[in-house]
Amino acid sequence: MRIGFIGLGHMGGPMAANLLKAGHAVTAFDLSALEAAKTAGATLATLPRAAAEGAEVVITMLPAAAHVRAVYLNDDGVLAGVAKGVPLIDSSTIDPATARLIGEAACKQGNPFADAPVSGGVVGAQAGTLTFMVGADEALFETLRPVFSGMGKNMVRCGETGTGQIAKLCNSAITCFQASR
């Protein structure tokens, strides 16, 4: 499968590398962390739009909601380059409202969208053992399962768009509570 991957930091870099190991073709974009992706076998893109062009699935893993909005909605962003019908996955940890905003913009263009933040940290990203908390309809979730399995071991459908972020917030709160005991 041809995958556009945007955001190659501590989490995204290993996730993209695992997709390459699983046999997917990855076209990657990041503002700075490109060398490891190139070494792993990814094709490099000059803009988010270029990473999305020709992709069968696009994945983003970005630091904050502002970055997600920019990467999807700017003139050189994902929605400007992706073909109609191509599924979009955002694995960033962001607020549910931003996930819904991006999902609505994608839907208007004819692209299914899943918010799919992860649990497992950098070690899980490197080992390919992440847990995905997915906000998507059932059909999209099943369509994306093989992509998630290239990066993780557990995929949980939490409900519609935005609920992956809500589950991630709950998971983080529980983890913090347990750590404080």
Residues noted as catalytic: 168
Sign of CA dihedral 158, 134, 117, 70: negative
Report DSSP letters for 101-170, one per residue: HHHHHHHHHT--EEE--EESHHHHHHHT-EEEEEES-HHHHHHHHHHHHTTEEEEEEEESTTHHHHHHHH
Contact criterion met (CB below 8 Å) for 167 and 173: no
Contact criterion met (CB below 8 Å) for 5 and 28: yes
